[in-house]
Homo-oligomer: A and B are copies of this chain.
């Protein structure tokens, strides 16, 4: 076999991608205070100089990482929506699957990283407006996909707020899972609330 040469542009893209993924896992693991550009570069197996070539400042790196979190989350939700559109009509079983999938979005490492950034942004003037803007966009997309997956009709009074409250609950469940494994309790809450949401939607379909 000869030597495989990777085009320079592709190498650069791979390096960037590795830095973004390392930034997310550093945030989830060390928090904002412990996540410097050096720490992220080391985790990514990239020199500090190369990291700074891609992201001149710490804010640039983590803002890009937040964008990346949002894109991965959106992708995961689009996959869910696609699967659902091939699936069954609204039913208790489907509602339970959708509620569980939505709650899952808030309990993985992506949510942990986003939470660290969210909280850091509340104390960092540089970070705050970028995170607010991002959260508004991600929030709108999550809501839109939740409505679609649940087969909810938002023209009916109260349905919009039902879906919003459900997503607030999912966010709260994510927070409850931060320090301890809350899976057993969460499963029972999801079971009961999927039932409640299904009843509310059914009565107004």
Contact = CB atoms under 8 A, between A and B. Distances in A.
A195 B123 contact: no
A179 interface: yes
A85 B120 CA distance: 40
A175 B169 CA distance: 11
Contacts of A118: 175, 178-179
Contacts of A132: 179-180
Contacts of A161: 188-189, 191-193
A128 interface: yes
Contacts of A131: 179
B128 A179 contact: yes
A96 interface: no
Contact of A175 (B29, B158, B172): B172
Identify the interface centre among A29, A165, A195: most chain B CB within 10 Å of its CB: A165
Contacts of A174: 172
Contacts of A192: 158, 161-162, 165
A179 B188 CA distance: 30
Q: What class of interface size applies to chain A in its complex with B?
A: 35 or more
Contacts of A34: 123
B179 A164 contact: no
Contacts of A180: 132
28 contacts: A31-B119, A31-B120, A31-B123, A33-B33, A112-B122, A115-B175, A116-B119, A118-B175, A118-B179, A122-B178, A122-B179, A132-B179, A135-B179, A158-B192, A158-B195, A161-B188, A164-B185, A164-B189, A165-B192, A167-B172, A168-B172, A168-B189, A171-B171, A171-B176, A172-B174, A172-B175, A175-B175, A196-B200
Q: Which 5 A-B pairs have the closest CB atoms?
A: A172-B172, A171-B172, A168-B172, A161-B192, A31-B123
